[in-house]
């Protein structure tokens, strides 16, 4: 069963980003539809896939990471001074395979990639 998963690594602290809010949206023309909201666990991962099985289909998705609130909750002095929300918009062209979209983040920069 194919699925979409994510995790977050706090590159400023060198550890997983625990308790970060993440939303998965389906991007449809001029509007986004919320598919799931989650909070990362101690390993920086959401409990279970963000979407899987028959609900996971080809199309455009958006993961929204609430990095500003995360860094504020850790007491980081640069929380919300640059990044607040990190949206990652991506296309799934083959929903029969796994997609893993991680976020590597600091208060000042982020990167992502497509894993499996």
Tell me: the pLDDT tens digits for 30-80? 899 999 999 999 999 999 999 999 999 999 999 999 999 999 999 999 999
pLDDT the model gives residue 22: 98
Spatial distance between the Cα atoms of 114 and 116, rounded to a whole number of angstroms:
7
pLDDT the model gives residue 58: 97
Pairing of strands 15-16, 31-39: unpaired
pTM of this structure: 0.96
Q: What is the mean pLDDT of the chain?
A: 97
Spatial distance between the Cα atoms of 96 and 7, rounded to a whole number of angstroms:
21
pLDDT the model gives residue 65: 98
Question: Where along the chain do its domains lie?
Answer: 3-112
What is the CATH topology of the domain spanning 3-112? Immunoglobulin-like (2.60.40)
């Amino acid at each position: 069963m194919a699925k979409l998963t994510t995790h977050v690594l706090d590159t400023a602290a060198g550890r997983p980003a625990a308790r970060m809010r993440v939303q998965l949206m389906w991007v449809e023309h001029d509007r986004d539809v919320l598919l799931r909201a989650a909070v990362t666990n101690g390993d920086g991962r959401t409990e279970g896939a963000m979407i899987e099985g028959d609900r996971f289909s080809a199309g455009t998705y958006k993961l929204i990471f609430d990095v500003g609130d995360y860094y504020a909750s850790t007491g980081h002095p640069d929380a919300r001074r640059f990044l607040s929300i990190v949206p990652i918009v991506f296309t799934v062209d083959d929903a029969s395979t796994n997609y893993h979209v991680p976020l590597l983040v600091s208060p000042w920069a982020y990167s992502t990639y497509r894993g499996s």
